[in-house]
Structure 1
Amino acid sequence: MFNIKALQRNKTVRYGVPMLLLVVGGSFGLREFAQIRYDSQKIKRKLDPSLEARVNVERQPVILEEEYEKIKELNLDEWRNIRGPRPWEDSKEYQEQQRSKQNKKD
Structure 2
Amino acid sequence: MFNLKVLQRNKTVKYGVPMLLLIVGGSFGLREFTEIRCDAQKHRRKLDPSLEAKVNVQRQSVILEDEYEKMKQLNLEEWKNIRGPRPWEDSREYQEQQRNRQNKKD
Same fold (TM > 0.5): yes
Following superposition, the deviation at residue 67 of structure 1 comes to: 2.5
In structure 1, the partner of 2:39 is: 39
1-structure distance, mates of 2:87, 2:98:
16
Task: Give % identity.
Answer: 80
Aligned-partner Cα distance in 2 for 1:51–1:22: 46
| Equivalent residue pairs, number | 106
Question: Unpaired segments of 5 or more residues in structure 2?
Answer: none
Write the deviation string for residues 27-50 of structure 1: whole angstroms up to 9, x where unpaired: 011101211221121012111222
1:81: which partner in 2? 81
- What does 1:4-83 correspond to in 2, within 5 Å? 4-60=4-60, 62-83=62-83
Q: After superposition, what is the alpha-carbon deviation per residue over 1:85-106, rounded to whole angstroms, capped at 9, x for unaligned?
A: 1222222221121122222223
**SS of residue matched to 1:104:** helix
Q: Give distance in 2, aligned partners of 1:64 and 1:56.
A: 16
Deviation at 1:84, TM superposition (A): 1.3
Give every structure 1 segment of 4 or more consecutive aligned residues whose post-TM-superposition deviation is greater than 4 Å: none
Counterparts of 1:61 and 1:50, CA distance in 2: 17
Separation in 2 of the partners of 1:9 and 1:64?
74
Q: Which structure 1 residue ranges, 5 or more long, are not aligned?
A: none
Q: Distance between the aligned counterparts of 1:30 and 1:101, measured in 2?
A: 60
CA RMSD of superposed structures (Å): 1.6
Q: TM-score with structure 1 length normalisation?
A: 0.87
Deviations 1:56-96, CA, capped at 9 Å, x for gaps: 11112644432322111111111111111122222222112
Question: 1:60 aligns to what SS in structure 2?
Answer: helix
